[in-house]
Structure 1
Amino acid sequence: MQYHNSKTALLVMDVQNGIVSNLGENKEEALTTYQKVIMAARQHAIPVIFIRVGFREGYPEISPKNKRFSSVLKYGGMTVLDEATQIHESVKPEVREAIVTKYRISAFAGSNLEIILRSQQIDTLVLSGISTSGVVLSTLREAADKDFQLKVLADACFDTNKEVHDVLMDKVFPSQADVLNVQDWIDTLNER
């Protein structure tokens, strides 16, 4: 059991104040789901790694050519010290849990995530996050190219476009990951 757990990590991606607030009526459901997933991982000694997006003052990481992030140059905010970039209080990381700051969509982009994973000999990633068509998709593709085994928790991924979420879960992700729901993942942990 310990060998298995030392090889797996749960990624909780972009569950930060400025992004959670975009979930609208799904916010409470999402936060409850993340609490359940995180608690299960902790109970089974699976490392929980929190991923957030944030930038340094002056935004040296943002190119005006970047369609997604260039609006930050115009409107400001999103620095690593801003409230919007902090992990949501309801899923607060414990002292020894890593918080990785990324500078693009993928959890690997410009971050130290891969160093953390390799240092801990982690070869399996369990993905959860906001949004399915953003951080989850980009991280899944890059992690698959890096030869990680992947699981995606379908009901711990949220997107403002349900149709896109469903297509990714049903048609795209299964070619590179096992797609399952939170309770099924917890049940497999409890069987060990």
Structure 2
Amino acid sequence: MSRSALLVLDMVNELVHPDGHYAHVCREEVARRNVIERTAQAVARARSRNIPVIYVVLGYSSHYEDWPPASDLFGPPDPERRFTLGSWGTQVHERLTPEPGENVVVKQRVSPFYGTNLESLLRSRKIGTLLLTGVATDLVVLMTAREAHDRDFAVEVLEDATATGDQELQDAALLMLARTAEVSSVERALPTAGRVAA
């Protein structure tokens, strides 16, 4: 019997903390949509149901040779190397801190499946459904949903625990996501009472 897992995508300080250097990309929408609070709620509900919580973070080695040099999205390497693994910038927001034993997958591209052990981790735990939260909706969330679909996982996007640069882009991303995933919410996927998602 397959199980569900909750994926917390790119909810790191550089992107979602008010002091993050790159937080301007979606800071206002993260705050307006209460994304950190709703993600924390999803994490707490998943843990209470023994649904595995898996964190995906963007991070690079200290020499930054694994930065994508030709990417228009990523741009030239930040001279201050704020995404160096182990730095404050790559740590999960304090409201969402992983508990001991919870997996943290490190990626260097948009997709959490590219060059990582995510798929083998999911297979080994007999995960069949992925519940997605995180930022940005039009990038990592959309990419995760599409690649998970092609790997035969069922996908449910908790849209109220996602955000991107503005509402127009969020709406467009959700339209695209609905092609390969169920667009849901924290309450529908992990209800206060009633059915259990795992």
Taking structure 1 as the reference length, the TM-score comes to 0.90
Relative CO higher for 1 or 2, CA cutoff 8 Å, sep ≥ 6? Answer: 2
| 1:11-160 correspondence to structure 2 within 5 Å | 11-21=7-17, 22=23, 23-25=26-28, 26-27=30-31, 29-72=34-77, 74-160=79-165
Distance 2:37 2:68 in 1: 36
% identical equivalent positions:
34
How many positions carry a matched residue from both structures?
187
Gaps of at least 5 residues in structure 2 are: 18-22
Gaps of at least 5 residues in structure 1 are: none
Tell me which amino acid in the other structure corresponds to 1:18: E
Contact 1:150 1:177 in 2 (8 A): yes
The residue aligned with 2:177 is: 173
Name the CA shift for 1:99/1:189 in 2 (closer, same or farther; >3 Å): farther
Name the CA shift for 1:189/1:112 in 2 (closer, same or farther; >3 Å): farther
The residue aligned with 1:161 is: 166
CA drift of 1:111 comes to 1.4
Taking structure 2 as the reference length, the TM-score comes to 0.87
Name the CA shift for 1:141/1:188 in 2 (closer, same or farther; >3 Å): farther
The RMSD of aligned alpha carbons is: 1.8
CA drift of 1:189 comes to 6.8
Name the CA shift for 1:157/1:120 in 2 (closer, same or farther; >3 Å): same
Q: Higher helix share goes to which structure? A: 1
